[in-house]
Structures are given as structure tokens and as C-alpha cells.
Amino acid sequence: MSSALKTSLQDAMKAAMKAGDKPRLGVIRLILSALKQVEVDERVELDDTRVIGILDKMVKQRRESIGMFDKAGRDDLTKIEQAEIDVIQTFLPQALSEEEVEAIIKDAISKTGAESIKDMGKVMGIVRPQVVGRGDVGAISGQIKAILSA
């Protein structure tokens, strides 16, 4: 097992079992199942970077669900999704601050020499690996667009 994050997930699963924390245990099992699915489908062993990407995707899916549940007035389902996000985020690296995100964006723009929205792909190519799992990539993309459009 090459992923320290995967090991910590398995340890957390054992701890949740011992503590009788069924909601947390359910989410951790869901995470491990998603990781196993990717490993089986792609016949690879996941490293921490890839695990973080999968966790980030899971958080994004839940945020989209919350948006739909809010529109439908289903607060009960919104609370369940939010609880799942809270558990998943405990395994993600510390979120970046606004200042850190800005510094990463400015650094990427200066490295690529980006001057207009046409250079968005180049900038995202540098920024994305640095922010996956540590910030909302969609929101960060919007910030880059705003800077390059100005």
C-alpha cells in the first residue's frame, strides 16, 4: 500500500467501528469503496495525490447535490450531504487561504506570461495541481478568469 492517506483512512475506519460512530463509518467505507473501484478499474495502486483528487471530487459531487436539495427544499438531505463533506474534508490537506490562492495564481500568471483569457489553460495547468484538494477549483478558475479579463 503506497498511500499513507489510504492507510489513515483504514485506521479511521477501525476507530469509527470501535467507537460505534455509524455515520462516520459509513462515509469512510464509501471513500474506501471509491478508491478500491478506481484501483480495480485502472489496475493501479493509488498514491496520495490521486487519493486527494478522488476525495476532492467526492466533495464537489456533494456540494452539487446540496445545491439541488436546497432548491427542492430538502433540508434533511442537505444536512446528510454536509455531514459527509465534513468527514471527507478531515482527510484532505488544510485548505488554502485567500492570500495563498492569490499568490499561487499570480505566480502562475508570471511564469506563463499570461496576458488574456486565451492563456487560461496555461495558467490552470500550473495552478490546478497546487490547489486540488485544498480549495474549490471552480472558484479559483473564476478568480483566474477575472484577473485575465481585466
Domains located in the chain, CATH noted: 4-89 (1.10.1510.10), 98-149 (1.10.10.410)
Per-residue pLDDT of the chain (150 residues; tens, 9 = 90+): 468 899 999 999 999 999 999 999 999 999 999 999 999 999 999 988 889 889 989 998 999 999 999 999 999 999 999 999 999 999 988 888 888 888 999 898 888 888 888 888 888 889 888 887 788 888 888 888 888 887
- Separation CA 56–CA 136 (nearest Å): 9
Residues 6+ apart with CB under 8 A from 93: 52, 133, 134
Stated pTM of the model: 0.75
How close are the terminal C-alpha atoms of the chain, in Å?
Answer: 47
